[in-house]
Amino acid sequence: MSAVSCNLNLDAQLSWSTAAGGKCSFGHFKTLITFSIMLSFLQLVVTVLATVASAGIAPRNIATHINHETVGKALRVRQGGYYSFWSEGAGSFQCNQQGGGKYTCKWSGQPGGGFVAGTGFKPGGSRTVKYSGTYDAKGPGYLALYGWTQNPLIEYYIIESYDILAPGEPWTKKGNFTFEEGTYELYTSQRVNKPSIEGTRTFTQFWSVRTEKRVGGTITTSKHFDAWSKAGMRLGNHNYMIMCTEGFANGTLLPSGSSTITVT
């Protein structure tokens, strides 16, 4: 094999020459200029990164600093808790989280309108939930511990207070149970092609309705889950769970009121 050497022609021509006297052109000198610029840029990037590291500036996990907020239908994280606000249709539904597990709502519904708002936990499940505050409601709606499970898809309520129950679907009574926190009646119902955490679905609702209304106290969810299970009401895998205020229109019955609730 003949020896090969690389020679730079200052007239902007790069060529290879061989001992046999042959020449093969490689390209113009601008190729070297472009390569030189790219190499310089890469060296600059390395230098900047080294400077940042030496200054102790570490990358941050952006996801942990995002305030998960959207307008309208939302589930978001704030100050270590979960706050959910969902509304549809006509009416004025003003709900805000105040921090520290506290939220406020003021509402005045119109035909076809309704909302659910509250703060709580994700995932839900067996918890001892303490709450306090004020609840002044007129028309259909509830103050309730509210949540969802999946597989199966279940929407559930532990209702603590209300003005008018006025359920949108027929309820089937499954019994009642009494323990140290009070007496509750148990019901189921079914919603067909309605909004859910999985989109528009058909799903079952579970209800515990307190016979003596209250605004403030302790809810031991495992007691309700056990009572439901004994009544053949089986939950799935827990999604979120909130102490909610809900108001909705039902025919000529329209909701209005205000609430201030703190959850611990």
CATH of the domain at 118: 2.60.120.180
Q: What is the pLDDT of residue 43?
A: 55
Q: Which residues contact 224 (CB under 8 A, 6 or more apart)?
A: 158, 184, 208
Whether the pLDDT of residue 2 is over 60: the answer is no
Same domain, 126 and 230: yes
Choose among 247, 243, 233: nearest CA to 173. Answer: 233
pLDDT above 80 (res 190): yes
Q: Is 246 a catalytic residue?
A: yes
Could you read off the pLDDT of 172-184 as tens digits, one per residue? 999 999 999 999 9
Total domains present in the chain: 2
Confidence label for 70 from pLDDT (cuts 50, 70 and 90): very low
- Whether residue 110 sits in one domain with residue 44: no
Instruction: Identify residue 143 by its one-letter amino acid code.
Output: L
Question: Do 81 and 9 belong together in one domain?
Answer: no
* Residue 12 and residue 116 share a domain: no
CA distance linking residue 85 with residue 93, whole number of Å: 10
> Could you tell me the pTM of the whole model?
0.71
Tell me if 28 is assigned to some domain: yes
**Nearest-5° Cα angle at 220, 228 to 247:** 75
Residue percentage of the chain with pLDDT more than 90: 68
For residue range 231-256, what is the model confidence (pLDDT) as tens digits? 999 999 999 999 999 999 999 999 99
Mean pLDDT (the chain, rounded): 79
- Verify whether residue 181 is a known catalytic residue: no
Q: Which of 69, 88, 155, 169 is catalytic?
A: 155
Query: 92 and 42 in one domain?
Result: no
User: Pick from 216, 208, 158: which is nearest to 187 by CA?
Assistant: 208
Q: Are residues 137 and 172 in the same domain?
A: yes
- Mark whether 163 and 231 lie in a shared domain: yes
Helix/strand/coil for 38: helix
Look at residue 133 and tell me if it is in a domain: yes
pLDDT at 139: 98
Domain that holds residue 238: 70-263
**Pick the residue with more confidence: 236 or 99?**
236
For the segment 30-44, what is each residue's pLDDT rounded down to a tens digit?
343 343 444 454 455
For the chain, how many helices (H) and strands (E)? 2, 17
**Per-residue model confidence (pLDDT) at position 20:** 40
